[in-house]
Amino acid sequence: MPKSPLAPPASPPATGRRLIWLLGPALVAGVAYLDPGNVAANMTAGAAFGYLLVWVVVLGNLMAWLIQYLSAKLGIVTGQSLPQVLGDRIRSRWGRRAYWLQAELVAMATDVAEVIGGAVALNLLFGLPLLWGGVITGIVSMIVLTVQTRRGARAFESVVVTMLVVIVVGFCAGIIASPPDAAATLGGLVPRFEGTESVLLAASILGATVMPHAIYAHSSLVRDRFPLTAATATVGGVRERRLLRATRWDVTIALAIAGTVNLVMLLLAASSLAGVPGTDSLEGAYAALRDGLGPVIATLFAVGLLASGLASSSVGAYAGSEIMSGLLRIRVPLLARRAVTLIPALAILGAGIDPTLALVLSQVVLSFGIPFALIPLVWLTARREVLGDFRNRMLTTLGGVAASVFLVTLNIVLIWLTVTGG
């Protein structure tokens, strides 16, 4: 049987150069963990409570590892994305439509946060009006998506990973100029809260970390990168085991990068912005960094924010397209869909609504979508009829259930505290 050029060889293990070739999908999905919502949550937490919530960032990253691995495993073993699997299993047409509607709203909320983040960055760097910054962010994300549609998954990965490098440099530069207190950082690993506001910020950090569209996207990314066809199929699960072994490395590297950057943002705010007024907004954090650490560090931060908005917006649009095609079995051209989903973000910017308020509200909407993505993922990956011999072990399922309960509970707390004013 002839083999696809994308198929890995049937016998040698995925090591060395071949292992590197298999990496990539998790790095793209991991961009979702470094979007403007994360920046706002981590910077605000560090400025308001110092090192108190270090443990929340670490815990969120550990849970994210398990969740993203399960998403990738579903895509590799079934050859389908999570929305496709759910679309096949939800028999009711209205049930599929209802599920799609909540997932679509979540994808649009994600887009709002990412476009606003890019617009704020362009405003900080070049003084552009927020509306025009949003338009430019949307156009650039469409260009990136064109790479995916015309050049394929590998080229799309290369562009997004390049932006990821810019994000890492931009957000981590300040920590060199203002190193954190090592003892206080270690002390922050002890789980605790200090009042209602710290609970709200902890929920915001986790809500901005484990996001529904990253769960949907990862299964789609590995499906596109490693398509399951008659040409790529192997006997005895050899293909799946090789790809899952590489995926564990891929997810580990991606979440190590994302977790480190998120932690650095909180530590930078704790060491440089603690007690400084106005740091509960992206503009305020930029101004505080400029005044405290100099214009170079502040500019790098703004460049990182811009790359964050552009990269995460592209990945979010990719996820939204997959949600629609998987659940409704409707394939809308990616660029046309992208143009439509830009409207809410541009309307918010054009109406002059406070960008920070819009970011906060978008995180609340994202919180509604967590259970609908996370619970089905854990349930499906634990079932033999879905994954066969690759179904979750009992310990993995228990870990997924524990993470689901914890995240859903905290997101309910986030919604409650936001609605009631804490």
Q: pLDDT truncated to tens, each residue of the chain (422 aa)? A: 344 333 444 334 445 556 667 778 888 888 888 888 888 888 888 988 999 999 999 998 999 999 999 999 999 999 999 999 999 999 899 999 999 999 888 888 888 888 998 999 999 999 999 999 999 998 888 888 888 778 877 888 888 888 989 999 998 998 988 899 999 999 999 999 888 888 878 877 877 777 888 899 999 999 988 887 656 666 567 888 889 999 999 999 999 999 999 999 999 999 988 878 777 788 888 988 898 889 999 999 999 999 998 888 888 888 888 898 899 888 777 777 778 888 888 999 989 888 877 877 777 777 778 889 999 999 999 999 999 999 999 999 999 999 888 888 877 776 777 677 65
Helix axes 36-49, 355-381, angle to 10 degrees: 110
In this structure, which amino acid lies at residue 79?
G
**Distance from C-alpha of 224 to C-alpha of 184, rounded to nearest angstrom:** 44
Q: How far is CA 392 from CA 19, 118, 125, in A?
A: 23, 38, 47
**Beta-carbon neighbour count of residue 30 at 10 Å?**
27
**Beta-carbon neighbour count of residue 140 at 10 Å?**
17
| Residue ranges of domains in the chain, CATH in brackets | 16-420 (1.20.1740.10)
Query: DSSP per residue over 297-339, as a string?
Result: HHHHHHHHHHHHHHHHHHHHHHHHHHHHHHHH-----HHHHHH
Say if CB 164 and CB 31 are below 8 A apart.
yes
Residue listed under structure tokens 């990168």:
225
Residue 26 has, within 13 A of its CA and on its CB side, a CA count of 31
> Global pTM?
0.87
Q: How far is CA 68 from CA 28, 33, 204, 279, 312, in A?
A: 11, 11, 19, 31, 16
**Distance from C-alpha of 107 to C-alpha of 324, rounded to nearest angstrom:** 10
Residue listed under structure tokens 């809410």:
344
Residue 342 has, within 13 A of its CA and on its CB side, a CA count of 26
**Distance from C-alpha of 327 to C-alpha of 94, rounded to nearest angstrom:** 11
**Distance from C-alpha of 77 to C-alpha of 346, rounded to nearest angstrom:** 39
